Amino acid sequence: MADEKEIINKLTSGEIKLHEIEKYTQSVPEAIEIRRKFMETVSVGKLDNVSHFSLDMEEAMKKNIENPIGAVQIPVGVAGPLKINGEYAQGEFYVPLATSEGALVASVNRGCSIIRQAGGATVRIIDDKMTRAPVIKAESVTGAMEIKQWIENNFNEIKEAAETTTRHGKLLKIDPVIVVGRYVYPRFVFSTGDSMGMNMVTIATETALRLLTNKTGAHVVALSGNVCVDKKPAALNLIEGRGKTLVAEIVITRELVDKKLKTTPESIVEVNMAKNFMGSAISGSMGFNAHFANMIGSIFLATGQDEAHVVEGSLGITTAETKEGNLYFSVTLPDVPLATFGGGTRLETAKECLEIMDVFGAGKVHKFAEIVAGTVLAGELSLMGALAAGHLARAHQELGRG
């Protein structure tokens, strides 16, 4: 085995690559330390804090990270208890939120308090699916139509091929099948159980495409043709849904709105119309909400979700109405990819945060989804109340963000 100085010199000269360090060391921790010390030679500062972590990095390197040098730390706060009246989540839950934005946890916590006093949030899962959409090239539009028709006429055969790769994934449909010129974009739609399922559906779709290629002679340009739509904002996902499609609602009495939010139902309705609907429309936004991304992002970071899917979770619609003089308030989230096992949920800190809500492991993803929707409702309600009452700037100033 080479010594530390020799390895760093070889890294500097380009004789060995960052991912090759483990070949020259006796252990993963030693390799991580050398890689970090090498990075300090190119950094303008030390990496002392990055070096402190409790994760089993050898285990993480199997599926979660390459070329590790340590770990970053994000403060984790807790909001709650949040009362959920769901089909899978019933009762009160404390929700871990990883964020460096002052006032966020406090705001969500206020929303949780109001929801609890109003009797709890009603939450339902409207749909549950994961998608992958390849792009296929034909010789002409006529050939493209033939491929489209073959897909539509042979769904059962395609489904059988796709499902040979997984015990948990089920191909539900291939829809839409879009033709652009001589290119075909079929959107494969799967159920994936308790895993988020992106890897699962990718492998299954690839297997199905081998069958299609053999039968039609089609040329697969790319396994992902961006009609999935993965990790990007898209009207298709807003309409069709992806991951978990969720709705959470609450009715809050006029008295409680006045006492806790210091405003009126009518003021919140007006702010919602002017900000979330008209403001979003004039700006071309696909997020007709105030800040879904805040709650989605902080929960995702705390629980080991794929952070790039925050862009999808930020899509959605907030509704506010007066109902018999009271406030009806709801959030609709059409596209929230979630997992309770596999992926980043394997990491020790993610597992612990999931366990706070008792949603780690198989059979828990729907319960987790309902808690996520309730948390978004709490944060959205609190911010809309603050805006309606004119308290937003004061809250941020008092909590360290002035």
The catalytic site residues sit at 101, 306, 396
- Per-residue b or e along 17-43, where b marks 16 or more CB atoms closer than 10 Å to that residue's CB: eeeebbebbeebebbbbbbbbbbbeee
Q: Are 132 and 205 in contact (CB under 8 A)?
A: yes
Q: Distance (Å, rounded) from C-alpha 192 to C-alpha 200?
A: 8
Q: Rounded CA gap, 284 and 290, in Å?
A: 14
Residue carrying structure tokens 């395609």:
158
What CA–CA distance (Å, rounded) separates 334 from 255?
Answer: 31
- Both tokens of 218, joined, read 């089609």
Backbone dihedral angles phi then psi of residue 97, each to the nearest 5 degrees: -130, 120
Q: Residue 185: what are its φ and ψ, rounded to 5°?
A: -125, 90
Query: Could you give the C-alpha distances from 374 to 91, 104, 243, 270, 333, in angstroms and in order?
Result: 12, 15, 17, 23, 11
- Nearest 5°: the CA angle 256, 260, 266 is 65
Largest CA distance in the chain: 76
Judging by beta carbons within 10 Å of its beta carbon (0-12, 13-18, 19+), is residue 189 exposed, middle or buried?
buried
Distances (CA, A) of 256 to 118, 119, 260: 8, 12, 6
CB of 365 closer than 8 Å to CB of 340: yes
Cα separation, 319 vs 91, whole angstroms: 24
